[in-house]
Structures are given as structure tokens and as C-alpha cells.
Amino acid sequence: MASKHEERVIVQALRSVLPDFPPGDILDHEEPDFLIGGPPGVGIELTGYVEGQGGPHGSGRLRDEMLRRQIAARARSIFESGHSERLWVTLHWWRTLPRGLKGTDVQPLAAALSEVVQRRLQDARHDHFLIEPEELESTRLREWVHRVSVGRLQSGRRGGWAAVQAGFFGIDANDLRPAIEPKEANSQHTGTTAVRSGCWFMPAAQR
């Protein structure tokens, strides 16, 4: 999970939006992570959750996300090694990919991305533009990325190449059990004297 400071930020954010959040000071603790209005009081235990982490080989989606970041970072490195111009580039990935990404995909996809951005820059009339699917059709990216957003930055600014994927998604309650059950068992074993009114488990989800 995050550092104590980051955990506290999460809890304070939840307090600001949950009308039934227990009243009282948020006190640092361990097992559970925080006590509200105590001790004794209501315990709050935070645990990290990565979508798909319950699979036999961990989260394939997390591995894909890490490889997407590597592709973007490598493409940026290739581009900037031959250009002084700095860009803000965002990749828009297809929702359904042909397969899971592999480490061997990083270099060829990064090279293809750098090349298509460089080619498109040569005739770009504006500082911000999109590379559309038909322009990607003849590249290795066609099965993975459906659009690339590119923006020129002013001189002196640092560039950034992002591989963020965002959107709504659902989580089956059963998928949360592997993250929550060890915390429940540990809390029952160690936290009974500190908690008066029960313990809240708050999974902090990452996509």
C-alpha cells in the first residue's frame, strides 16, 4: 500500500465525500492503519487492490500497463535522441487487444511510435494534432493503438509521453476477497482491543 501520508490523504478524501464516515480525529495506528475517535474507536484498514490480481499469475492488466509505460518511455527516448523539439504525446489504446503485451513488444512498438510521430510532425500545420487510425494502419501499432494525440511544447518545457488508459470498469465482489481476507484475519487476531465499533476495509483500486 502507499506511505502513511498517502494513506491519510485517501482517508481524508473519503471523509469529504462519505456522509456516514465516522466522526472524530483520524489517529495514526497499525493494524488497523487508523483509528477514528479512539482508542478505542472505529478502525480503518487500507489495502491496495490491482484489477485482476487474483489470477494465478498475478494481474495481466497490470503487466500490460507497465509495458505500455515502457513503450511510451522508450519511444520518447528514441525521438528525443534525434530531435531538440519537445512534445506531449498521449497514446489511446484499443479497449480489446489482440493478446497480452510482452517485453519483446516494447522496442518494435516504441520505434514505430517514434517514427509515425516524426513523420506526422513534418507536415503538421498546428501545434496540436491527432494521428488517426488510418495513419496507423500501415504500422505495427495498428492492433494496439487507435489514436495518438501530439502537442508541441514551448521551448524550455519538458516533454511527456503518456500511455494512460482511463474509463469506467466494474469489480466483482469476489475479486476483492484475496486482498481483504488476510487483513480481516490479521485484524481479528491483533486489533480487538483497539477497535470498539468494527473495522472498515477500504481497497484503494488501481487500473
Q: Are residues 84 and 141 in the same domain?
A: yes
Task: Output DSSP code: residue 194.
Answer: T
Q: Are residues 96 and 14 in the same domain?
A: no
Q: Are residues 104 and 69 in the same domain?
A: yes
Q: Are residues 136 and 200 in the same domain?
A: no
Q: Are residues 136 and 120 in the same domain?
A: yes
Q: Which of 56, 54, 4 is nearest to 30 (CA)?
A: 4
Q: Are residues 86 and 107 in the same domain?
A: yes
Burial class (CB in 10 A: 0-12, 13-18, 19+), 113: buried
**Cβ neighbours of residue 155 under 8 Å, at least 6 residues apart?**
none
Series of mean pLDDT values for 10-residue runs along the chain (207 residues): 78 84 84 76 74 57 85 94 90 84 93 94 86 91 92 84 69 65 57 47 52
Is the pTM higher than 0.75?
no
Q: Are residues 124 and 198 in the same domain?
A: no
pLDDT of residue 22: 83
Q: Are residues 149 and 112 in the same domain?
A: yes
pLDDT of residue 164: 73
Q: Are residues 66 and 158 in the same domain?
A: yes
In whole angstroms, give the CA distance from residue 206 to residue 117: 29
| Count of domains for the chain | 2
Quote the domain boundaries for residue 24: 4-51+170-206
pLDDT of residue 193: 43
Q: Are residues 127 and 179 in the same domain?
A: no
99-106 — which CB contacts under 8 Å span 24+ positions?
A: 100/60, 100/63, 100/64, 101/63, 101/64, 101/67, 101/68, 101/71, 101/144, 102/67, 103/67, 105/67, 105/71, 106/67, 106/70, 106/71, 106/74
Answer with the one of 162, 179, 196 that is the final residue of a domain: 162
Q: Are residues 79 and 152 in the same domain?
A: yes
Q: Are residues 66 and 149 in the same domain?
A: yes
pLDDT of residue 165: 65
Angle at 143 between CA 138 and CA 144, to 5 degrees: 115
In whole angstroms, give the CA distance from residue 205 to residue 90: 23
In whole angstroms, give the CA distance from residue 111 to residue 90: 15
pLDDT of residue 96: 78
